[in-house]
Amino acid sequence: MKKTEIIEGYLGYMRESIEAVEKTRAKRLKETFPLMSLEEREKILKKFHPDYKEEAKRPAKVGPNKGDLMPHEVADLLEAYPLAKPKDIDLSKVDFDVDILIIGGGGAGMTAALWANYTGANAETILIVQKLRLGDSNSIMSQGGVQAADKPNDGPGLHYLDVMGGGHFTNDKKLARRLVSDAPMLIKWHEDLGVIYDKESDGTMVTIHGGGTCRKRMHSARDYTGLEIVRSLKDEVLNKNISVLEFTSAVELLTDEQKQVAGAVLYNMETQEYYVAKAKSTILTTGGFGRLHIQGFPTTNHYGATADGIILAYRVGAKLRDLDAVQYHPTGAAYPEQIVGLLVTEKVRGLGAQPVNKNGEQFVYPREPRDVEASAIIRECYKRNNGIETPTGMKGVWLDSPMIEILQGEGTIAKKLPAMLRQYKRFDIDMTQDPILVFPTLHFQNGGVIVKENAETTVQGLFAAGEVTGGTHGKNRLMGNSILDYSVFGRIAGINAAKYAKKAKIGKLTLNHVTKYKKMLKEAGIETDRKAPILLPEYRGEKVLSRTLEIF
Amino acid sequence: MSEEKNPMATIYIMGKAYKVPNTLTIMKAIEYAGYRFIRSCGCRGGFCGSCTTFYRVKNDYKLYVDLACQKRVEDEMYIVQLPFMPAEKPKWDIDKMKPTTDEVIRVFPEIARCLSCNVCTEACPQDIEVMRAIQALRRGDLEDVVNLTFDCISCGACSIRCPAEITHYQVFQLARRLHGKYETIPAKHLMERVKEIEKGNFDDKMSKLMDMNVEKLKQLYKKREIEK
Ligand SMILES: Cc1cc2nc3c(=O)[nH]c(=O)nc-3n(C[C@H](O)[C@H](O)[C@H](O)COP(=O)(O)OP(=O)(O)OC[C@H]3O[C@@H](n4cnc5c(N)ncnc54)[C@H](O)[C@@H]3O)c2cc1C
Ligand code: SF4
Ligand code: SF4
Ligand code: FES
């Protein structure tokens, strides 16, 4: 066997390690590595979790959260200058005059639009602006499922305990209560729309555990849960004739003299033209920040997850929270290079696959909380040097997926994890026969814009829902609670924005807050040519970038 | 990434040649070459269907199609992307429809024009048996359509190749919604829980939890029984 020869997807030297994994498999099927004690957990987190690295964060220098610690990548954007100069934008010409402007067309945005419509806002008075195509978002990528306490042995109280415990009791209690109390209603709504959840033949929902749940309450649609929900929402948004502006981003919010939010400056990503969109209420549903690649981590997130929402909100004075808490998913793909960072859903471990090192040994209980599991994998690779190095120099550990077929029966992977199986097959790896290589990946923005129970931010006229907000999950979200989050609070934002729009009176449009923000940056001595929001990550080849000329 | 370690491939992006590391996906190769995506890039993970890409390779007459974010480049690959599938979205009111395949065919009469050429199936990057699904529709088996097409990511590859000009992904969307809404049995436990919550059955308990101090909440959390 040549070390660099590729055999069924893996290089020769990897095959040698796989043989070690196969050797220990029979024994491992009978024993599981023990759970850590709370003390052990604390110790490993402090030493190995990326969030605990002090040098990776700094206090914000300006704005409502001045002094709060956040990752450099986020602070860099808050301490960056606006994309457009206020004087270049003619606010006297309004291109879109609507009641409700929804910024971001993922799960939260579309849910808000539909519920605003049900609440009486006419479809033509609602506008969704979306950076990519409608629905191309983190929402369409979620695989595992959505939580709701709808089984007889479960209830909102138990769900609440799980949410709070998962968030290390740092959550906003009111938001958490709302999340769990409205959960069944939203799943019912999906059911009425025709979303096909996995069910028994008598209609009973098939539900399983997720990390940190005390009851089996994870509802799924195979491992295409996000896809199935999003395509149904999208279909309905289009059926209702709600206006959508694709490939257009919000680059700045607008305010009036009363300092209430009054719409946004939009930017056509293709023609580079700006538009003025005036609105009586504005809903921010821009999702998270995975594409900032915090601490250089790869990410599971979609192309447009660049933190635009928090930047825009911050400039009009909205307060943020918990941005220092970043969720790394313990198992992102580490090999092959083509799919590095993409999610290997928790379900794989849920169905019985164990993480093992290059010698085929277990080193952690397979279902520790996400942050603990991720830390153990980092330790195994970088402290104990028991990881498997890939040709690009990345390290990872094995996730012994063939165990699933042994434990749950042949064909289980094809039935329960079709997306996963397909993804690896494309690169000649058969995860029913061979283990897959994983390493933690940047997954979720735990914190965000502060909202009240009615989805209002701390600034008048501005609502927010979904991953862009903070509080519901505190410092750590549990799997299955963010589809729920965008459903519950998307709905509330839609309803309340529609009600608010009925009464709101918008005065003269201004960008005074932007001018003020710039002044604040100058006064804080921030001299930089950084601009924000960044809208899209930069992935062009280094050689090309170093030679580009801006001629036209 | 040094060039010695990674052999390079020559690809032609809309006719223009570029040298790129041969380990990259088509998507990353296009970026490596210096393009910045605005369209034809969404999830980057095989879920959204926005990166549909057609290609040919040298000495092969066949036209292939795949997802740019999932397909690795090959040497001498000629690439063009499908940034947008031109098609009107027919509007429907799902509440007023019946779960029959006739309903679907009424909205999409072109289904009757299917030539059974199977080009759609060959085009599908998700390995969906597209033609079989269309035939299941004509046979009147809605559930079969749903099972065959559940993994459809609406990439449009089948539709752009179809001589009968069917927009399959829209057809399948309607089929799935009709099946989901009318042919699956509503979950009884869900309906009951929604009613219980509406009636306020849990209000007292929730209020108590809300008023509890963190220490007590932590005790409850630790003591909770985990369902087997
Ligand atoms: C791979 C993956 C798997 C996941 N699995 C699960 C799971 O199993 N269960 C679960 O509960 N959660 C899961 N999550 C998390 C969950 O999917 C997200 O947190 C949730 O969908 C966020 O919804 P959202 O609507 O707030 O944001 P998004 O769905 O990301 O939508 C935001 C949209 O706004 C657009 N946008 C951004 N900035 C602008 C701008 N300036 N102007 C206009 N538009 C803009 C974006 O492009 C995007 O389309 C997963 C996430 C990922 C990435
Ligand atoms: S069925 Fe058609 S639209 Fe759906 S994934 Fe396959 S080729 Fe794409
Ligand atoms: S490509 Fe069109 S005509 Fe050919 S089998 Fe498929 S649906 Fe029928
Ligand atoms: S970018 Fe979403 S499928 Fe390729």
Among B27, B168, B193, B224, which would you mutate to test the A interface (most chain A Cβ atoms within 10 Å of its Cβ)?
Answer: B193
Of A148, A161, A199, nearest to B220 by CB-CB distance is A161
| Cβ separation B206–A173 shorter than 8 A | no
**pLDDT of A4 higher than 80:** no
Considering the domain architecture, whether residues B16 and B63 belong to the same structural domain is answered as: yes
Buried/exposed A177-191: b ≥16 CB within 10 Å, e otherwise: bbbbbbbbbbbbbbb
Q: What was the pLDDT predicted at A5?
A: 77
Q: Select from B26, B53, B81 the last residue of a domain.
A: B81
Considering the domain architecture, whether residues B123 and B68 belong to the same structural domain is answered as: no
Write out pLDDT tens, residues B111-163: 999 999 999 999 999 999 999 999 999 999 999 999 999 999 999 999 999 99
Where in the sequence is the domain holding B64, given as residue range(s)?
Answer: 8-81
Mean pLDDT of A390-394: 88
Considering the domain architecture, whether residues B14 and B58 belong to the same structural domain is answered as: yes
Percent share of chain A, pLDDT over 70: 99
Nearest CA to ligand 2 atom 5: B152
Mean pLDDT of A232-249: 98
Sign of CA dihedral B120, B121, B124, B126: positive
**SS3 (DSSP) at B226:** coil
Interface ipTM > 0.95 = yes
**pLDDT of B1 higher than 60:** no
H or E segment and range at residue A249: strand A248-255
Q: What was the pLDDT predicted at A133?
A: 97
**pLDDT of A1 higher than 60:** no
> Using 50, 70 and 90 to split pLDDT, how confident is the model at B3?
very low
Buried/exposed B152-171: b ≥16 CB within 10 Å, e otherwise: bbbbbbbbbbbebebbbbbb
Please tell me the pTM assigned to this model: 0.96
Considering the domain architecture, whether residues B76 and B158 belong to the same structural domain is answered as: no
**SS3 (DSSP) at A342:** coil
Q: What was the pLDDT predicted at A49?
A: 94
> Using 50, 70 and 90 to split pLDDT, how confident is the model at A350?
confident
Q: Select from B81, B98, B118 the last residue of a domain.
A: B81
Mean pLDDT of A398-419: 94
Closest by Cα among B106, B155, B92 to A241: B92
What's the domain count of chain B? 2
In order of their start, the domains of chain A are 6-51+327-442 (3.90.700.10), 82-148+220-325+446-513 (3.50.50.60)
**pLDDT of A358 higher than 50:** yes
Find the residues whose C-beta lies inside 6 A of ligand 1: A 103-109, 129-132, 136-139, 141-146, 225-226, 249-250, 285-287, 300-301, 304-305, 308, 343, 444, 466-468, 479-483, 486, 533
Q: Are A193 and A232 in contact (CB under 8 A)?
A: yes
Tallying the residues shown for chain B, one arrives at 228
> Using 50, 70 and 90 to split pLDDT, how confident is the model at A551?
confident
Closest by Cα among A312, A341, A345, A332 to A468: A312
Examine residue B2 and state whether it is found in any structural domain, yes or no.
no
Q: What does the alpha-carbon distance between residue A125 and residue A396 come to, in Å, rounded to a whole number?
A: 50
> Using 50, 70 and 90 to split pLDDT, how confident is the model at B6?
low
Write out pLDDT tens, residues A96-112: 999 999 999 999 999 99
* Summary mean pLDDT of chain A: 95
Considering the domain architecture, whether residues B89 and B24 belong to the same structural domain is answered as: no
Considering the domain architecture, whether residues B20 and B94 belong to the same structural domain is answered as: no
Considering the domain architecture, whether residues B67 and B89 belong to the same structural domain is answered as: no
Mean pLDDT of A114-130: 98
CA dist list (Å): A58 to A80, A522, B121 = 15, 19, 53
Write out pLDDT tens, residues A243-287: 999 999 999 999 999 999 999 999 999 999 999 999 999 999 999
Describe the strand order of the beta sheet including B8-13 as a list of residue ranges.
Answer: B16-21, B8-13, B77-81, B52-57, B64-67
**pLDDT of B2 higher than 50:** no
**pLDDT of A499 higher than 60:** yes
**pLDDT of A543 higher than 90:** no
Closest by Cα among A426, A418, A208, A218 to A337: A426
Considering the domain architecture, whether residues B196 and B89 belong to the same structural domain is answered as: yes
Q: What letter represents residue B220's amino acid? A: L
Mean pLDDT of A77-88: 94
A293 is catalytic: no
Q: Select from B51, B81, B111 the last residue of a domain.
A: B81
CATH of the domain at B42: 3.10.20.740
Considering the domain architecture, whether residues B200 and B182 belong to the same structural domain is answered as: yes
CATH of the domain at B141: 1.10.1060
What DSSP letter does each residue of A21-39 carry, written as one string? Answer: HHHHHHHHTT--PPPPPHH
Examine residue B123 and state whether it is found in any structural domain, yes or no.
yes
